Amino acid sequence: MELERAGAPLRARERPLPEPGPGELRIEVLACGVCRTDLHIADGELRPPRLPLVPGHEIVGRVSASRAPDSSLREGDRVGVPWLAWTCGSCAPCARGQENLCERARFTGFSVDGGYAGACVADARYCFAIPGRCGDLEAAPLLCAGLIGFRSLRMAGDAGRLGIYGFGAAGHIVAQVARAQRREVLAFTRPGDAEGQAFARELGAVWAGGSDERPPELLDAAILYAPVGALVPAALRAVRPGGRVVCAGIHMSDIPSFPYADLWEERQLVSVANLTRDDGEAFFELVASTPIETRVRPFALSAANDALDALRAGQIQGAAALVPDARLASASGPA
């Protein structure tokens, strides 16, 4: 499914089977998560460096060919392909250990073709082995919602009382990780979203309410997954002195002006950009030992536009994922 022009629906295209280059794997796609970043790209809020483009960066697949002899990943292995596709290793951020900020980084489904397809290629160094306890569908949102969520949780520090604004794909995963770490989770949904608030409580939130509400107690930290700039000052007012607000999205509407008093008393406002391979290795080690339930609504690959429309309309509880049409009937369940 190809994006030819920002704002236009994706179009189905037949392409030759991609051939891996040196150091790359060819991957038969089993499932590909539908991320809000894909929506930002399709709607033109993020401009990819080239079109046409195959979106999708939450890829779960099986290696069908390899030109990466030094990799531990082999033909037949089940792997995940994340947003971070390649880094240079030599620029100043890379030298500081901040490959997520690489000046020449490439990104799956943005700089290079992604997983809205039956097959893709990826640099073996940036792929992760998927724990066997995760089904294909269940694993797909872990590749971005989980990974970026995990990085944002790390940036929230040791916050014992954590607010999550936007309880979608990332929020419902991070809430479970936070609960496993014995943190209190408070969930903020769209105002009036009783179903979403019930879902948050089901996953262990001690409080759930609308994003226009104040929490019953001040938060140690808040993470914003909803791409709504107006929530930034609201979150700052909800955290205690010395608390932190983490903006975890790649795109957000403009942040309105707010009084300095909302930031004063050493409150901090930070953003998350991309991920590192260290994030991925640590996260999947945690996934292998911690029960994490991802709620995933499957769509056929040919229905990618329907999945994006449902995400745009706020109709997805948890996450969505695309499955090649022939695989849809048997996509879920353990590998």
Cβ-contact 169, 227 below 8 angstroms: no
Dihedral Cα 135, 140, 145, 149, nearest 10 deg: 50
Helix (H/G/I), strand (E/B), else coil: 136: helix
What tokens were used for 285? 């080690």
Confidence of residue 329 (pLDDT cuts 50, 70, 90): low
Q: Given the DSSP bridges, would you call strands 207-210 and 128-129 parallel, antiparallel or unpaired?
A: unpaired
* Contacts of residue 69, Cβ cutoff 8 Å, sequence gap at least 6: none
Q: What is the pLDDT of residue 19?
A: 97
Average pLDDT estimate for 49-53: 96
pLDDT at 63: 98
Residue 331 pLDDT: 44
Query: What dihedral do alpha carbons 308, 314, 315, 316 form, nearest 10°?
Result: 70
Cβ-contact 79, 129 below 8 angstroms: yes
Instruction: Give the pLDDT score at 118.
Output: 97
pLDDT score of 335: 37
pLDDT tens for residues 169-219?
999 999 999 999 999 999 999 999 999 999 999 999 999 999 999 999 999
Determine the straight-line distance between the first and last CA of the chain, rounded to whole angstroms: 25
Whole-number pLDDT of residue 326: 81
Q: Specify the 3-state DSSP secondary structure of 281.
A: helix
User: What letter does residue 278 receive in the DSSP assignment?
Assistant: H
Residue 193's nearest CA partner among 173, 174, 221, 212 is 212
How far CA 221 is from CA of 190, 206, 282, in Å, comes to 19, 15, 22
Residue from 115, 179, 175 nearest 145 by CA = 175
What dihedral do alpha carbons 254, 257, 262, 266 form, nearest 10°?
70
Residue 47 has pLDDT above 80, yes or no: yes
| pLDDT tens for each residue of 112-144 | 999 999 999 999 999 999 998 899 999 999 999
Instruction: Supply the pLDDT for residue 327.
Output: 80
Q: What is the structure's pLDDT at 175?
A: 97
pLDDT average, residue stretch 59-76: 97
pLDDT tens for residues 263-283?
A: 999 999 999 999 999 999 999
The tokens for 57 are 């960066």
Q: Is 286 exposed, middle or buried, given 0-12, 13-18 or 19+ CB atoms closer than 10 A?
A: middle
Q: What pTM did the predictor assign?
A: 0.93
Average pLDDT, the chain: 95
Mean predicted confidence (pLDDT) in 300-321: 96
* Nearest one of 91, 89, 62, 92 to 77, comparing CA atoms: 62
Q: Given pLDDT bands bounded at 50, 70 and 90, which one contains residue 224? A: very high
In this predicted structure, the answer to whether residue 334 has a pLDDT above a threshold of 50 is: no
**pLDDT-derived band at 328, boundaries 50, 70, 90:** confident
According to the model, what pLDDT value does residue 14 have? 95
- List the single range of 90-94, 220-224, 243-247, 285-289 with lowest mean pLDDT: 285-289
Above 90 in pLDDT, residue 156? yes
Domains and CATH numbers, the chain: 24-146+275-330 (3.90.180.10), 148-271 (3.40.50.720)
Task: Give pLDDT, residue 333.
Answer: 44
Tokens 């929230």 appear where?
156
